[in-house]
């Protein structure tokens, strides 16, 4: 598992997850995490928010 702290739009997180890595992205902005969810869905990836 790889943790990206301050992931923002999670460009790197999504790229690595698409390559088969188990990723966790963290950011304090809930608004930007909504953007991340849309980008992940567009890449065919799922997001779990905690």
The span from the CA of 1 to the CA of 31, in Å, is 24
Identify the band that residue 38 occupies on the pLDDT scale cut at 50, 70 and 90: very high
Q: How many domains does the chain have?
A: 1
Strand partners, 25: 4
| pLDDT > 90? residue 19 | yes
Q: Quick one: average pLDDT of 14-33?
A: 92
49 within a domain of the structure (yes/no): no
Structural domain containing residue 7: 2-42
The span from the CA of 29 to the CA of 16, in Å, is 21
33 within a domain of the structure (yes/no): yes
34 within a domain of the structure (yes/no): yes
| pLDDT > 90? residue 47 | no
pTM of the entire structure? 0.80
Q: Quick one: average pLDDT of 25-49?
A: 91
């Amino acid at each position: 598992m790889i943790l990206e702290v301050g992931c923002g739009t999670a460009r790197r997180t999504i790229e690595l997850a698409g390559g088969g890595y188990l990723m966790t992205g963290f950011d304090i902005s809930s608004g930007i995490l909504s953007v991340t969810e849309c980008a992940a869905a567009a890449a065919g990836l799922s997001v779990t928010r905690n």
